[in-house]
Structure 1
Amino acid sequence: MLNFDLHNPTRIVFGAKTVSRLDELVPAGARVLILYGGESARRNGTLAEVRAGLGQREVHEFGGIEPNPSYETLMEAVALIQRKGLNFLLAVGGGSVIDGTKFVAAAVDYPGDPWEIMESHGATVHRALPFGTVLTLPATGSEMNKGSVVSKKATKAKLVFASEHVFPRFSILDPTKTYSLPLPQVANGVVDAFTHVMEQYLTYPVDGRVQDRFAEGLLQTLVEIGAEVMAKPDNYDARANLMWTATLALNGLIVAGVPEDWSTHMIGHELTALHGIDHARTLAAVLPANLQVRREAKRAKLLQYAERIWNITEGSEDERIGIAITSTRVFFESLGVPTRLREYGLNAGHIDEVIAQLEAHGMTALGEHEDVTLAVSRQILEAAL
């Protein structure tokens, strides 16, 4: 097992009817900005419930944060905060809203060009406004980590930053808030959480037995509940398990002491930035192809994955690995998520532009061994077609 330093200060408040606890979680004198995405949060009553929970505090709203939050939109929120003198943020939504709120929190008092936050991957962040979250879409785990992904429309850049200063102070996780989600968003959440676990689990063995079993438990849970969360939107237990699994998939627990990959995500980010494909759907296309192209480097963990997640114990090693990769693809497709880039209108002619963006953003040595060169990324994209 590798050395590690694990710290997570986010308080989780989990369960039905917990939004009312905002009054005890937000400082009494806070001047609050609620950040959210579309109008669904207003239509389904969540915004009204949040406002009621905040009591008599000064409250302002900022809506319109995109599914892939843009720098341009987020800077409008920064300007509003500066103009009104607000001092506490509350993200109401899924990972995109929370990611955007993290950037806003870091950008409000940033001394230079705020885009430097993204270009430095968070190294230049030394303070941020405090914020909490009310999670409505389980997927990214952003409600309990220090990471954020933001896009810049002007340059079609989609970059990642992380900072100890942008852990949420608290996150309210009420599974009933997911009942009204469109099913494609629920499916995306399952795929996103599954791939988060895979990026930390399916690398190479370091005898991290506890981490492996944690990760395998999360993967098994997602496989077990995948059909349930799609077929029965008001199944509280299934939605509760999805919500908690997605949080645990990226809160630092399963990556402690083990190597991590993230090449699937980096390639997927470029596809989203260039072509507007949902983040999770880029992952569904890239992950199986990535495993196929790099099956030799990942052989030991692929065999473990085949046995422990898919119960594949017969056949040669190559056969078992092949079935495990196919099983992954079939699972995503059973949720209604296509796993081929051609199903999103892409062909071989689109690959050069993706490779050029990877190079422009310094993504030339990805993966747990830093051996996913631009040539290997090209092979992965070709296999994903």
Structure 2
Amino acid sequence: MKFSYVNPTQIHFGQGQIETVASSIPTTEKVLVIYGGGSIKSNGVYDQVAKALESHTWQEFSGVEPNTTKETLDKAVAIVKQDGIDYILAVGGGSVIDGSKYVAAAAKYDGEGWDILTGDHQVTDATPIGAILTLPATGSESNMGAVITKAETQDKLAFLAPAVQPKFAVLDPDVMKSLPEKQLINGIVDAWVHVCEQYLTLPTNAMVQDGYAETLLRSLKSLGEQFEQRDNDEWRANLMWSANQALNGLIGSGVPQDWATHMIGHELTALWHVDHARSLAIVQPSLLRNQLQYKRAKLEQMGVNVFGLDKSEDLAERTIYAIEQFYLQLNVPTKLTEHGSDKAAAIDAVIDQLTQHGMVVLGENQSITLEKSREILTEAIA
């Protein structure tokens, strides 16, 4: 284990913490508030933000969509450049926060913003960002990653840059009260797979990372099993904190990571607009079965330490089945149906996208070739 770890995002966690925005952003800074479809105006969050910013000069940009697009975000980039915005406040879930990271980086670049996603521009400077999390799932509020879609070409790509890591993040579980059940379920699944991507790899004897990952998985499993308690303050707080800790960099420090489920899942979202979390639930069981020879030891460890399964020769297989049942218990499908009736064409479309995006070898062992991706898709697509 050799690694460097720092997480510079200041977290303001708990009820009523939106008021901390007032002191988190200097009053001398001109602020752009970026949000999504407007639900924050009906659930009281917008009013709290406005009160916190009453001593600031600020304006707003709305309409950031789920699986946010470059085309929409470029309009916000123009505002930041033209109006001399000093600070961005992202109010929303992962898509809004990811989108704000793109805006923050692209506003400091004179070229085409998509260059950031293709790697043709390396981000070293960005407009400072703060975040108010309204939908726990991605952990984007305290990490340096973002995923953006280019609608014109159906490309969905990611970038990482320390410069876009939020300076602070407000995590108030009360803002979850108005969330639809489907979004809460997506949050559980998304956080679950984030942990798995950093845990279900190779044995490393990294006791802290493994132990913490297992604690998060057991917590998320319990939250799923106790879904009927979702109107409980403690349930909301535990989901919000679990989702944050799942992808703030800690459990992945010094250990191998996978992320192939995400890379394949992104293509399902780009092509058929499948919810991000649900694309992961579709891909992961098939991928685990396909890569069983490499992942058997960690699957067995997960089976015992997360699901409480007895040791046996087929423990790894039973663990995959338990993961699948966890999703199905939440009414999250594990097979793709959105593609229509032509399965062969759907598989070819995903393989074409993976090829175009350079995703020709994936996984912690680089063992998921395009041929293996095709095998995974053959099982994952109905």
Q: Quickly name the TM-score band, shorter chain normalised.
A: over 0.9
- 2:335 is equivalent to residue 340 of structure 1: yes
SS of residue paired to 1:310:
coil
Deviation (angstroms), 1:225: 1.2
Matches within 5 A, 1:189-200: 189-200=187-198
2: CA distance between counterparts of 1:17 and 1:234?
Answer: 17
Q: What does residue 301 of structure 2 align with?
A: 304
SS at match of 2:333: coil
Would the aligned equivalents of 1:89 and 1:129 in 2 still touch at CA under 8 Å?
A: yes
Deviates more, 1:296-305 or 1:186-195: 296-305
Where does the alignment leave 5 or more consecutive residues of structure 1 unmatched? none
Unpaired stretches in structure 2, ≥5 consecutive residues: none
The residue type paired with residue 117 of structure 1 is I
Contact 1:269 1:279 in 2 (8 A): yes
Aligned pairs for 1:1-385 (under 5 A) are: 2-120=1-119, 124-228=122-226, 230-316=227-313, 319-342=314-337, 345=340, 347-385=343-381
What are the superposed Cα offsets for residues 345-382 of structure 1, whole Å, 9 maximum, x if unpaired? 46343000000000000001110011111001111111
* Cα pair distance change 1:344/1:138, threshold 3 Å: farther
What number of residue pairs does the alignment pair up? 380
> Shift of residue 344 of structure 1?
6.4
The answer as to whether partners of 1:184 and 1:336 remain within 8 angstroms in 2 is no
Q: Mark the CA change 1:334 to 1:290 in structure 2 (over 3 Å): closer, same or farther.
A: same
- Asked if 1 retains the 8 angstrom alpha-carbon contact of 2:274 and 2:338, the reply is no
Q: Which runs of 4+ in 1 moved over 6 A?
A: none
Percent of residue pairs identical:
47
- Alpha-carbon distance, 1:43 to partner: 1.1
Task: Give the 3-state SS of the residue equivalent to 2:362 in structure 1.
Answer: coil
Distance 1:337 1:343 in 2: 13
Measure how far apart 1:323 and its partner are: 1.2
79-88 vs 97-106, greater mean Cα deviation: 79-88
How much is the aligned-residue C-alpha RMSD, in angstroms?
1.2
- Mapped partners of 1:380, 1:312: distance in 2: 26
Give, as a single letter, the amino acid of the residue that structure 1 aligns with 2:199: Y
Structure 2: which amino acid aligns with 1:367?
G
- TM-score, normalised relative to structure 1: 0.96
Instruction: Provide the C-alpha distance between the structure 2 equivalents of 1:343 and 1:55, rounded to a whole number of angstroms.
Output: 45
Q: Distance in 1 between matches of 2:229 and 2:175?
A: 14
d(CA) in 2 for partners of 1:348, 1:41? 42
The whole-number CA distance in structure 1 between the counterparts of 2:44 and 2:31 is 19
Q: Which region of structure 1 is more displaced relative to structure 2, 24-33 or 168-177? A: 24-33
**Cα distance in structure 2, aligned partners of 1:345 and 1:286:** 17
Distance 2:271 2:194 in 1: 22
Contact 1:293 1:383 in 2 (8 A): no
Q: Out of 362-371 and 80-89, give the one that drifted further.
A: 80-89
Whole-angstrom CA distance in 2 between matches of 1:245 and 1:118: 28
- Superposed CA deviations along residues 232-277 of structure 1, whole A, max 9, x for unmatched, are 3321111101100100000000001100000000000011001110
Distance 2:19 2:204 in 1: 44
Deviations 1:284-326 (A, max 9, x none): 010111101111111111111111111111432xx21121111
